Structure 1
Amino acid sequence: MYLNHRQPLCQLLLLLAFLSPFASAQNLSPDQTVLIGGDYNYPPYEFLDDEGKPNGYNVELTLAIAEVMGMKVEFIFSDWAQVRESLKEGNIDALQGMVNSPERRETFDFSPPHAIIHQSIFARQGTPRTASLQQLKGKEVIVQKNGIMHDYLLQNDVGAQLFTVETHADALRQLAAGKHDYALVANLPGLYLGKELGLSNIIPVGKPFQAQHYGYAVLKGNEDLLAQFSEGLAILKNTGRQQLIYNKWLGPLQEKSLPWKQLGKLAAFVSALLLLILGGSIIWNRMLKRQVDKRTAELDMQQQQLIQADKMTSLGILVSGVAHEINNPTGLLLLNMPVIQEAWQDCEEILEQHYEQHGDFLLGGLAYSQMRNEIPVLMSDMHDGARRIKRTVNDLKDFSRQESEDIYEAFDLNEVVTTAVRLAENSIHNSTDNFSSNYSAKLPTIYGNAQRIEQVVINLILNACQALHERSKAIAVRTYLISETQQICLQISDEGCGIEARNLSRLLDPFFTTRREHGGTGLGLSVSSGIVQTHGGTLHFDSIPAQGTTVTMTLPINGKKT
C-alpha cells in the first residue's frame, strides 16, 4: 500500500489514525506494518512511476530488507517537506533516504549509509564554473524546501537569496525556463531529471560539498526499528544483494558522470600491447605457412590442416603463459581496489574537517581541494581498466582453447536456442521492444557439444542487440530444417546499422572488429566460427548498411566432430 503527494495532509493523517488508533508510530508490535516515507519525485533514489507506484533504488532496497527481516512495510510518498514533518511528528515510522548531518542528528537517528550523495550547483549553459558557495553571494538560488541544502544555507548564510520548491524537478524546470541564477540539488537526481525532462540548457557547474552519508532515518529514540533496518542492510551488503540493487539504479549514471579517463587509457594501452604480441605471433606463423606452401605445393588439404593445428597450439601455449602472468596482478587489482575505495571513504570525512579548519594542503604532491575530486575517479578508472584487461585475456583464452576434450552427444537445437535467449534476456530487453522467435517443430537432433553451440548463439544474439540504435528496431530468431541437405539452420536477423560490404569478408578474422572503441576485441565471431566448423557447420552473413544483418548458422543432422 502507498499514498501519493496528491492527497491532502489531513487525509494522510486520518488514514494513519485509522491504521494505528491505539499505538504511536514509535511503538509498533511485531504484527504491525512499518510506515515508510519517501519523496515522490527524487529519482533514481525514490519516485512515483508512470502508474503512480513507488519505485527506485530506495524502494527496492527497503523491500529487500523487509523480506530478509520478516517486516511488513507500506510506503507513503509526498513532497519532501511533508514526509519529513510527518516523521518528526511521529505519524510515520521511518524515512528510507535522508542525508545525515549533525543538526539532523539532534532530532533523528540514522542507520549506516546505503549510498553516498554529492550535491551540485546547476546553472544554464554559458555560466562560469562555481567552485565555492561564497560565489553565490548576491545570487538567486533555488533549493528544495527542508532539504539538506536548504538546512545548510539557513545555518550558514552565504548572502544568497533563496527560493524554495517542492522537488528537484521543480528547481531544474524553473532554472531551465530562465528563472533565478542557480539550482543547488543532488548530483545524480539532477543528471537523471535533466535527461528525463529534456532540459538540455542546464549543466552542473560546481560541486562545493564533500560526500554526504545517505541512509534510513527514524525519530530519535526509536532504536529497535533502526536496528532492524541496520541489520537487514548489513545482511544485504554481506550477501552482495545491496550492491546488485545499487548497480541497477545508480551504477550507469555514475559511470556516465566520470569526466577523466587517463587510467582507462593506460589499461587500453596494456591490452593493446598484449594484442600486439599475440598478433605478431599470428603474423609470424602466417609467414611460416606461406614459405611452407611455396616449397611443398604437393601437400594435400590434410597437411594444411595439420599446419593450422600446429599454429593454434603455439598460440595457445603463448596465450596461456601470458594470460597467467597478466591475470595474477590483475586479480590483485580487482581484489584490492574495493578495499582502497572503502578506506578512502572512511578517510574523506577526516580530511574534509582538516581542510575546513586549516585550509588547503598537499596530498600526493597536489592540492587537496583538487585531489578530493580526482582520487575517487582514479580508483574507479583503475577498477574499470582491470576488469577490461580480465575480459580481454578471457577472450584470448577462449580463442585459443582446444576442443579435443569436449563432450559430444545428441541435443535439441530448439532447447539450446531457448536457453540462450533466456540468458541474453536482459540485453534483449535493454535493446529492443520488438523481439520475436519462431522455432520449427520436431527438429531432428544434432550430435555435438550443446554448451559450445549455446555460446555461439548467445554471441550472435548479443551482436544483434549491439547493432540496434533504436528500441523500435526488431530482432527475429528462427530455426528450420533443410531436408535436401539434411541440415538444421538457425537464423538471427536484426534491423540494425548493418555491415559495410568491404567488411563482410573479414568478419571471421581474428582481432577484426568495428567496435574497438566500445571494448570489442574482435575474437567473438572468430571463436564462434571455430566452434561451428568443429561441428561440421557454417556461418553465413548477409547485410545491407543502415537496414540490418541476417546471420545463418547451419549444422549437419547427427554430424560428427571434425
Structure 2
Amino acid sequence: MHIALCGLGRYTLQAIFLLLLFLNKAAAIPHLDENIIHIGGDHYYPPYEFINQDGVADGYNVELTLAIAEVMGMKVDIRLGDWSAMRKNLDEGKLDVLQGIIYSGKRTAEYHFSPPHAIVHQSIFARKGESKAATLAELRDKEVIVQRGGIMHDHLVQDNVQAQLILVDTHAAALRLLAAGKHDYALVANLPGLYLGRELKLSNITPVGQPFSPQRYGYAVTKGNEALLARFSEGLAILKKTGRHQEIYDKWLGDLTVTGWPWKKIGLVTALISFMLLLILGGIVIWNRVLAREVANRAAELDRQHKQLIQADKMSSLGILVAGVAHEVNNPCSLLLLNLPVLKEAYQDIEELLETQYHEHGDFYLAGLPYSRMRTEIPAMLDDMLTSANRIRRIVDDLRDFARKGPTELNEVVDLNQVVATVIRLVDNTLRQSSHHIKTHYAQGVPCFYGNAQRIEQVIINLIVNACQALTSVEQSISIKTDYDIQSKELRLEVIDQGCGIEPQHLSRLKDPFFTTKREQGGIGLGLSVSASIVQEHGGQLNYESELGKGTHATLFLPTIKEPGCE
C-alpha cells in the first residue's frame, strides 16, 4: 500500500510539473490584439527607422506610419528589432506589416507590396585610397560585409557573385568593421550609409559604386493580407495628395540628398570658368543672353516634368481608387439584381387581379397613371432595369480586373480575342462617341500567348483611345481586328483609324517617354511609352504606319505558345 501511494504521489508531481511548464510556455506566447495592427521594422536603419536616445521608435518610416494610421483611423503598434527577426516574425504571423522593405521580383512570391513611399539606392562602400568596385562582378573573391536578411544579402546569394559574405545585423556594424580595416567592402543602402558615416564620424570610408538601379521601398504584408495592405496604400495616397508625405520626406531625407558634394572640386571648376569668362569678355553679353534663354527653357521643362511626375503618381494609386469605387457600386448593384427578379415575380402574381379589375370595372389609376398604359410599361421597365443592372455589374467587373495589380511573372495563358473583347467593353462609350463606324473582326482558332492579360489590356486601351482622339468627325471609321500568321507564329492585332494622321518626323518618337502632340489637350506622353515597354516584356513588337490627313495603322505582334485551338 505504501509503495502504491508513493508511486501515485510521484505521478501527481509529474503531472503538476508538466501543467506548470505548459502554462509558462503559454504565457510566453505574445498576444496580438486583433484591434491593433502590429508593424515591424529595423531598429538601426537611420534615417528611415531606428530607436532614438530616449528608447522610442523614430525616423521617416515611423512618422509616415503614424500619419497613415491617423488619416485612416487605425491603431498601430510599431516594433523595431533585428531585421532578420522582423522578417521571420512577419512570416510567422507575429507581425501584420513591415513598414519599410525593398521590392524585388523574388520577394513577390512571399509578400504583397504597396506603392513605394521612397526610392532606395544601394552603394558599395570602401576605405579611402583602396581599390574601387563599381559592379557586383568586381566583388568576386572579395570579403563583403552585408546585412543579414537584407535585399543585398538576397541578391548576392541569388546572383551567385561568389564573394565571401560577412553577415552582420545592422548597417552600422558593417560600416564600423570596414572603417576598422577589416574586410574589403561593405554593401549597404546609400542614405543610411551616409547618415551613419556622419553620425559615427567614420571619415575614412566612402561610396565607390552603385551596382543596382533605384529600388522601390514601401510597406509589405504576407499573402492573403491584401485588404490590410490596401488601407496603407490608400492612406499613403491621401498623404501624397495633401502634401504631408512630402513634408515628412523632406524632414528626414531632404538634407541627406544634397550632402556629399565635392565642394573643393566645385570651387576649382568655378575658378577656371571665371578665368575663361574673363578671357572671352568681348562675348559675355551674347553668352549671358543665350544662357538666360536656356535657363528659362530648362525651368519650363522641369516644371512640365514635375507636373508629369505628379500625374504619374496619381495613376499609381488608380488601382486602389477604382477597387474602392467598384466595391461601392457593386453593393447597390447587387441589391438591384437581387430585388428586381422578386419584384417582377410579384407583379406577375398580381397581374391577373389587376387585369380582372380592369376588364370588370374599367380603367383605373396605378402610381398616378392609367392602368391601360402601365399594364404594358411596367414589365418593360422591370426588364430594362434588370438588363441595365447586369450591364453595370459587367462594366464594374471589367474595370476592377483592369485596375488590379497583376503578378510580375508573365505566366498566364492569355486569349487575345478575349482581351480585345474586354477592352472594347471598357471603352465602349468612348468608341460610340468618337465614331459611327466601328468595325471589329476576331480571327477564329487563334493560339494563346504567355503573358499578363491586364498589362496587354492597358496597351490595347491606349491604342484604341489614341485612335478615337485622332478622329475629326464621327463619320470617320475605326477598324479593330485580330489575326494569326502561321509562318512567323505570331499573333497580330491591328487598330486602324481614318483620323488626322501623324507627321513623319514624329513617328520615330512615339515611344519616347513624355513625347506627345496633345500637350494642349492635357496629354503627358506616357501611354505609348509604357505600352512599348509592356510589349517588349512580352517579347513582341509595336509598329506604327501613318499618313498625314489620312489616318494611322498601329500593329501589335505577340509570340504564340502553341498551335491554333486555345484551351
TM-score (norm 2): 0.45
Computing the radius of gyration from Cα coordinates, the structure with the larger value is 2
